């Protein structure tokens, strides 16, 4: 089989593109990093790839709200190509700022459409602490449909967060109920035993229902606030010299994506 090909999207202010690309390269995927203008100039470029990743950072300085400008660029100029990419059964991963972009586009949670286009049904709002949170958190795995997490061998993983606007909130209580009923909650912030918690700093932003990551109803589009690309080597762990670390938890996300593509596309 040909190598799995990953398209990593960057824009002014993206700062996790090469770390994300390197994580996928460690899975033996062929990974390319493209500026948003390159994609706009060559709209069909995306169809040469199996996985689209929108990595973390502060695109366009988040001056109009996290992910807003990049989300608008994609909605206004690339939504048709992105829709075809999704219809073809391919994967999309949004990390931190990328999660914010996917929510602004309306691809997540992706429950309804407005005049044929995805409808915005959630937001990632300013942290309850009203400040940038840079810390490690425990995450309890939930979804059985999300392809990015299906083969994670443990219920609780440990990853860093780094954001100022990570508080997940839905537009209505019904939207939240649908997300839960559809098995779209991928991770919740938890304590080390895996008990979901709203207690700060275990939940670093005050997210509704302690949600740290969701997927769409197909399980092929996932957005997450924590950074898996920042735990792709054992030495990334803050206590790696004192604890026995078998596998860097972040790599599970990238390995599962690669496995899915090899099995299905």
pTM over 0.75, yes/no: yes
Length of the chain: 265
Fold of 5-264: Rossmann fold (3.40.50)
pLDDT at residue 1 in the model: 61
- Alpha helices, DSSP H only, in the chain? 17-26, 36-41, 68-77, 79-87, 97-105, 173-181, 250-264
Which residue stretches of the chain have pLDDT < 70? 1
- Is 262:87 a contact under the CB 8 Å cutoff? no
* Strand pairing report for 5-10 and 30-35: parallel
Rg (CA), the chain: 17
pLDDT at residue 12 in the model: 97
pLDDT at residue 170 in the model: 98
- How many C-beta neighbours within 10 Å does residue 137 have? 22
Phi-psi sector, 122: left (phi>0), alpha (psi -120 to 50), beta: beta
DSSP 30-97: EEEEEEHHHHHHTGGGGGG-SEEEE--B-GGGGTTSTTHHHHHHHHHHTHHHHHHHHHTT-EEEEETH
- Helix and strand numbers, DSSP H then E, in the chain: 7, 13
List residues with catalytic annotation.
Answer: 96, 227, 229
* Strand pairing report for 51-54 and 113-114: unpaired
pLDDT in tens, 108-128: 999 988 777 888 999 999 999
pLDDT at residue 11 in the model: 97
Report d(CA 146, CA 256) in Å as an integer: 10
pLDDT at residue 130 in the model: 97
């Amino acid at each position: 089989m040909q190598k799995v090909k990953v398209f990593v999207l960057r824009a002014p202010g993206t700062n996790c593109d090469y770390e994300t690309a390197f994580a996928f390269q460690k899975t033996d995927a062929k990974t390319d990093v493209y500026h948003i203008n390159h994609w706009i100039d060559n709209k069909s470029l995306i169809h040469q790839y199996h996985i689209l990743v929108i990595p973390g950072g502060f695109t366009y300085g988040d001056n109009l709200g996290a992910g807003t400008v990049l989300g608008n660029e994609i909605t206004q100029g690339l939504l048709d190509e992105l829709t075809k990419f999704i219809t073809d059964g391919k994967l999309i991963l949004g990390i931190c700022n990328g999660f914010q972009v996917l929510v602004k586009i309306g691809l997540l949670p992706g429950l309804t459409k407005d005049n044929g286009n995805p409808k915005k049904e959630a937001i990632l709002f300013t942290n309850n602490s009203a400040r940038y949170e840079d810390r490690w958190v425990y995450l309890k795995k939930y979804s059985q449909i999300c392809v990015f997490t299906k083969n994670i061998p443990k219920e609780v993983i440990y990853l860093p967060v780094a954001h100022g606007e990570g508080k997940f909130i839905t537009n209505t209580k019904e939207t939240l109920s649908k997300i839960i009923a559809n098995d779209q909650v991928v991770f919740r912030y938890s304590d080390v035993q895996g008990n979901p918690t709203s207690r700060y700093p275990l939940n670093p932003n005050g997210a509704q229902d302690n949600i740290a990551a969701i997927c769409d109803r197909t399980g092929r589009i996932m957005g997450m606030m924590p950074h898996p690309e920042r735990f792709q080597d054992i030495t990334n762990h803050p206590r790696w010299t004192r604890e026995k670390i078998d596998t860097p938890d972040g790599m599970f996300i990238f390995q599962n994506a690669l496995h899915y593509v090899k099995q299905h596309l």
